[in-house]
Amino acid sequence: MMRLNLTRWIAALHLGVCFLVSNASAQEKPFRPEAGKFPPLAQAHGFRGELTFVDHANRRGSLRIQGEGNYFRNAPHPFAMLPYGVIRYQGAQAGLRDIPIGTVLHARGFLPPDPKLSSVPVLPVNNRNKTAGYSGKGIAPAENHLILLEDEPSFCQREGKVWKLQEVELQNFAGKIVARREPKIGGTKAEEETLTFDAATRIWRGREKLEVADLIADGIWPASGKKALKDQAVLLGITWKPTPSNIFTRFHISDIWLDDVAMQRAAHNQTETHKAFIRTRWMPGWIDAVEYGKFGTATITATLFGGMDESLYADFKKGAHAQMNAVESNLKHTHGAYSPAHMASKGQILEVTKIKGEIPLGSSGIQIHFKTDLIIEGIRPGRNIRVRPSHWPNVNIPREEYLGDNNPLERFPSPAIFPRY
């Protein structure tokens, strides 16, 4: 009887230990996006840095990330956009090709969903906590698969913030601005930052593009010396330039939008650029479900990716004819030598539905139900697609934007192109 009790106690203890250990390891298991699920933004790691390299055809590049140390020492850090990753520039949706090198961008990233297929170097999970010499901590996070990449005015507009200018100091058409980035209305006072500007800084007022010299000529800024700007609310475009006088981290103003009209016009121009791009490269999305019919027919449910202009989504209508192509995780078409339309599944949109509830970032919240008479390889649940309503232009895309020769390196671009510093 005593032996039986002891055995029970040991078994119970063992179970308890197992439960504690499994719970702990579940907590330690790092979060990675899963196929077919938009990851919650709250789980993303946030950082910001200067765009230093772009491989737009493979939706990847490098950022010099701001850490705790001396900014100029930070080596460019590779990143890849997730297939549903959203890019915003000047308050509008964009492609990597639209963003000038040197632009400071805000990023939200995750660990690589599948390290084996990563097109950028895979780093140790805790890399963001490592100190790298004078660069300090935080300059090379392993969270290099981005769901959101946005420039300063896009970031400010999404967060309802503006830059409130405190003081300008000028000499020879260049100088410093002291400003605070804080909520447009109310909120707590943010810390003051000093930023530089120069004769190349673009100043936007309504439809006008001005220079520092114009503001001086109009008597708005002094030719030299200081002027208090009394919380003047503006939006700023930010870059980085090496700074003299042993100042290791100071950012530079590339653009100042003085009023709402100026910002709206910039956003409008970028929106039109991106709309033309998506109409020729097709709307990206992924497959939720496939119901196979007879002789190659199938009914496909697909979710369209988010972040596009509403007018593009409005083109997906019940009864409209469309074409659907399989694409890789970098959204490259798998066929293209005779245009992406050549091999695409053709059919009709049976229904367009809106997903109820909160729409996660990356998703449009719009599902299309598409019937095709011949489903092509690659259109499978969890895989990425591009889809085109038939009234969008049927164009040929350039060679680097589609897979051509069954070359595995084309399909899975190697991280080897990124130099190791």
Q: Which residues make up the interface to other proteins (CB under 8 A)?
A: 52-57, 97-98, 100-102, 207-210, 214, 261, 264-265, 268-270, 272-273, 275-276, 396-400
- Give the nearest distance from C-beta 179 to other proteins in angstroms: 24
Cα distances (Å, whole numbers) of residue 343 to 28, 147, 420: 45, 29, 39
- Give the nearest distance from C-beta 265 to other proteins in angstroms: 5
Contact 198, 168 (CB under 8 A): no
Contact 67, 138 (CB under 8 A): yes
Contact 146, 85 (CB under 8 A): yes
- Of residues 127 and 196, the one with the C-beta less far from other proteins: 196
Which residues make Cβ contacts (< 8 Å) with residue 110, sequence separation at least 6?
31, 32, 33, 39, 43, 44, 45, 82, 143, 145, 146, 147
Contact 263, 202 (CB under 8 A): no
- Of residues 167 and 214, the one with the C-beta less far from other proteins: 214
- Of residues 159 and 410, the one with the C-beta less far from other proteins: 410
- In this structure, the number of other CB atoms found within 10 A of the CB of residue 8 comes to 10
Sequence-ordered strand ranges (E) for 259-360: 283-292, 298-305, 321-327, 345-354
- Of residues 233 and 397, the one with the C-beta less far from other proteins: 397
- Give the nearest distance from C-beta 31 to other proteins in angstroms: 33
- Give the nearest distance from C-beta 396 to other proteins in angstroms: 5
- Give the nearest distance from C-beta 394 to other proteins in angstroms: 13
- Of residues 120 and 287, the one with the C-beta less far from other proteins: 120
The residue whose two tokens read 């000499």 is: 171
Pairing of strands 77-89, 60-65: antiparallel
- Of residues 108 and 274, the one with the C-beta less far from other proteins: 274
- Of residues 57 and 220, the one with the C-beta less far from other proteins: 57
- Give the nearest distance from C-beta 342 to other proteins in angstroms: 13
- Give the nearest distance from C-beta 187 to other proteins in angstroms: 27
Ordered DSSP codes for 340-386: TTTTSEEEEEEEEEE--SPPPTTEEEEEEEEEESSPPTT--TT-EEE
Three-class SS state of 193: strand
- Helix 260-281 to helix 152-159 angle (10° resolution) is 110
- Of residues 101 and 223, the one with the C-beta less far from other proteins: 101
- Give the nearest distance from C-beta 337 to other proteins in angstroms: 8
Three-class SS state of 417: helix
**Rounded Cα–Cα distance for residues 224 and 211 (Å):** 15
